[in-house]
Amino acid sequence: MKTIKGPAIFLAQFMDEKPPFNNLDNLCQWASDLGYKGIQIPSNETRLMDLQKCAESQTYADELKGKVNSYGLEITELSTHIQGQLVAVHPAHDLMFDVFAPDEVKGKPKARTEWAIQQVKYAAKASERLGLKAHATFSGSLLWPVMHPWPQQPKGLIDLGFKELADRWTPILNAFEDSGVDVCYEVHPVEDIHDGDTFERFLEATGNHKRVNILYDPSHFVLQQLDYIKYIDHYHEFIKAFHVKDSEFRPNGKKGAFGGYNDWKDRAGRYRSPGDGQVDFKRVFSKLTEYGCDVWAVLEWECVVKSPEQGAREGAPFIQQHIIEATTKAFDDFAGGGDTDENYLRKILGI
């Protein structure tokens, strides 16, 4: 067993123009004051870091790491959720996802994909320079618009989609292999990797690439009505990153999993701050600890009711209270039962 590290916080949802959410120093001081021990950095946020420079300069990487450490914090992972999303975009989503792309590749899907692939490759080298072992990202999606099989899916469509996704990601995965860093895909709706079956399809399509791993976030499974505890049983060996985010699913006579096109507040499934939803975090932390998952517990705040400031204040003690210090001894050691020889065992059995 292994003790989960934390508490940590993902900075993406807290970025703002006003202090303390406007630059790395202010955010580090804020997070440290709240009791966090680590930060997950969105690498597309230029107010926090220069991703390409971090990939190319060990001096810059050392300075970035030193700045974070000076506040009593560690960098848990870099995130390329935005860039990873743009590695694979279905044409139906082109205009809506273009908002995340730099101006020079907007309206140019092929150029946007090439830009995104290079960005995630930079993240591999940057992670290596920072001494990180895991990286958080999205897979992107070529298939989500055909998630529901109507119109009927032509035979071979899904296989081709995963083959294309794997073809785009394999050079990136090889870059992470060269850097000794695991790629942790957040298993998430709208991504082609959104549950267990799709993770396995992608893994197989990459030839079981050793750097294909999972960012586990139980909130997404509540919304899918998928057993998030059993998920750990199935995939614990792949879980190398962990988001602490809550959610609730309350269907009624008018809406269910698809949400009726409503805004988040009015959907049957919606995200909540940890402790305010339906996730059994005691079981989640217990399972991850039992399986020895070497992860940081990282708060990801997404809630339609509670403010981000309150969510962050409550998040650090919530995570700390759930972290289990993994035992190094059996509770009944005092009663004996240690190693012995076979003759002694045979006598006990009367044989």
pLDDT band for 327, please (50, 70, 90 cuts): confident
How far CA 301 is from CA of 22, 84, 125, 185, 269, in Å, comes to 17, 20, 28, 18, 16
> 20, 29 in Cβ contact below 8 A?
yes
The pLDDT mean for the chain works out to 96
pLDDT tens digits along 58-101:
999 999 999 999 999 999 999 999 999 999 999 999 999 999 99
Q: Is the dihedral of CA 319, 320, 324, 328 positive or negative?
A: positive
Q: Report, as an integer, the average pLDDT of 125-130.
A: 98
Nearest to 169 by CA among 197, 153, 192: 192
Please tell me the distance from the alpha carbon of residue 28 to that of residue 69, in angstroms, as a whole number: 9
Q: How far apart are CA 245 and CA 220, in angstroms?
A: 9
For 350, the token pair is 């009367």
Q: Please give the Cα distance from 313 to 316 (Å, whole number).
A: 6
Q: How confident is the model at residue 331 (pLDDT cuts 50, 70, 90)?
A: low
Lowest-confidence region among 247-251, 259-263, 325-329: 325-329
Residue 188 identity: H
Superfamily of domain 5-349 in the CATH hierarchy:
Divalent-metal-dependent TIM barrel enzymes (3.20.20.150)
- How would DSSP label each residue in 42-70? ETT-TTT--HHHHHH-HHHHHHHHHHHHT
- Listed in sequence order, the residues at least 6 apart from 89 whose beta carbon sits closer than 8 Å to its beta carbon are 97, 109, 112, 113, 140, 141, 142
DSSP letter at 261 equals G
| CB 181, CB 135: distance < 8 Å | yes
Measure the CA angle with vertex 271, ends 234 and 120; round to 5°.
65
Query: Long-range contacts made by residues 198-205, C-beta under 8 angstroms, separation at least 24?
Result: 199/235, 199/238, 201/158, 201/162, 202/139, 202/162, 202/165, 202/166, 202/169, 204/162, 205/162, 205/163, 205/165, 205/166
The C-alpha atoms of residue 146 and residue 154 are separated, in whole angstroms, by 10
Q: Which pLDDT band, with edges at 50, 70 and 90, does 153 fall under?
A: very high
The length of the chain in residues reads: 351
Locate the domains of the chain by residue range.
5-349
Question: What pLDDT score was predicted for residue 340?
Answer: 76
Q: Is 66 exposed, middle or buried (0-12, 13-18, 19+ CB in 10 A)?
A: exposed
d(CA 73, CA 213): 25
Give the C-alpha separation, 242 to 348, whole Å. Answer: 46
For the cut 90, the answer to whether the pLDDT of residue 333 exceeds it is no
Q: Percentage of the chain surpassing pLDDT 70?
A: 97
